[in-house]
Amino acid sequence: MKKRNLTTAAVLAAAALGTGIGALNAQQPGFTRTVLQDQDLMVNGRHAVVARAEFVPGGVVGKHTHPGEELGYVVEGTLQLLVEGRPPVTLKKGEVFFVPAGVIHDGKNVGKGKAVVLATYVVEKGKPVATAVK
């Protein structure tokens, strides 16, 4: 199956199962997130979601939280990560980051070209993978 069909199938399956992937795909202007995989884990009540996020220059994801941990890898560009209670961190291609469960955070492309992040979320089943914070 082609990548596009797999992504579509994952999103539709998640919507049907109520895993909250729709909330993960809520987009800000200049930011897109594509779910690549959603897999149940052997840990009871958890699933892992792998997503690819793209930011145009100046693009932001917006403040949000996850009901589990986020592990990220910067594939391309320069990203400023803002995690509540910590000083801002600037990450470049090849660097990784971790955001604990429930912590408010945001990301912004502070480079001149696009920024791309590959993120894995290990989250509770039945809850939205991401929840916007005002």
Sheet holding 31-40, edge to edge: 31-40, 46-55, 115-124, 68-76, 96-99
Closest CA to 84 of 111, 110, 107: 107
Residue 109 CA to chain centroid, in angstroms? 14
Instruction: Specify the CATH number of the domain 3-132.
Output: 2.60.120.10
Measured from the Cβ of residue 21, the count of other Cβ atoms closer than 10 Å reads 24
Which parts of the chain register pLDDT below 70?
1-27
Element (H, E) at 58: none
pLDDT value for 69: 97
pLDDT value for 30: 86
Q: Please tell me the chain's helix, strand, coil percentages from 3-state DSSP, rounded to the nearest 5.
A: 15, 45, 40
pLDDT tens digits for range 114-131 = 999 999 999 999 999 899
* Domain limits, the chain: 3-132
pLDDT value for 134: 85
pLDDT value for 6: 39
pLDDT value for 64: 95
pLDDT value for 27: 58
For residue 46, give both structure tokens. 């958890």
